[in-house]
């Protein structure tokens, strides 16, 4: 499907490589790092799925220690509260709404968290 955000809705491309780097940068606030991770790893359906503990490790603080499960869940909740990621997001899979993210290429990666995804 061709990328289209609608009439009079300009768009540009971003480097997912750079968003992956920024997601790991502890200088940024956690809810935004969650969104950076979603953008950095999103497949063509806007799903970024992570193995158990993977997102917590990505969101490590400046001491290099992975976030606790509770802190990771809290960061995802805050990102959802700010509409930075879709409400169905979890630490297992961050989801971006189609009005925010579209990708033309790449195979969708099987998502364990959203088996009925569109």
Would you tell me which residues interact with Zn ion (CB under 5 A)? 47, 93, 111, 113-114
Residue 6: CA atoms inside 13 Å, Cβ hemisphere, count?
A: 5
Would you say 22 or 91 has its CB closer to Zn ion? 91
Shortest separation between residue 47's beta carbon and Zn ion, angstroms: 4
User: Of 57, 40, 39, 52, which is closest to residue 100 (Cα–Cα)?
Assistant: 39
Shortest separation between residue 31's beta carbon and Zn ion, angstroms: 19
Would you say 66 or 111 has its CB closer to Zn ion? 111
Give the single-character DSSP code of 90: B
Burial class of residue 92, CB neighbours in 10 A (0-12, 13-18, 19+): middle
Shortest separation between residue 8's beta carbon and Zn ion, angstroms: 30
Would you say 61 or 106 has its CB closer to Zn ion? 106
CA atoms of 19 and 61, how far apart (whole Å): 17
CA 6 to chain centre: 22
Would you say 28 or 98 has its CB closer to Zn ion? 98
Placement of tokens 């917590």 in the chain: 56
Shortest separation between residue 85's beta carbon and Zn ion, angstroms: 11
């Amino acid at each position: 499907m061709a990328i289209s955000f609608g009439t009079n809705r300009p768009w540009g491309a971003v480097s997912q490589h750079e968003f992956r780097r920024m997601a790991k940068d502890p200088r940024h606030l956690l809810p935004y790092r969650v969104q950076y991770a979603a953008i950095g790893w999103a497949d063509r359906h806007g799903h970024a799925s992570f193995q158990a503990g993977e997102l917590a490790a990505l969101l490590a603080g400046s001491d290099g220690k992975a976030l606790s499960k509770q802190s990771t869940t809290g960061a995802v909740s805050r990102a959802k509260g700010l509409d930075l990621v879709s409400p169905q997001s979890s630490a297992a899979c961050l989801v971006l709404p189609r009005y925010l993210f579209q990708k033309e290429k790449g195979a969708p990666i099987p998502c364990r968290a959203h088996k009925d995804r569109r």
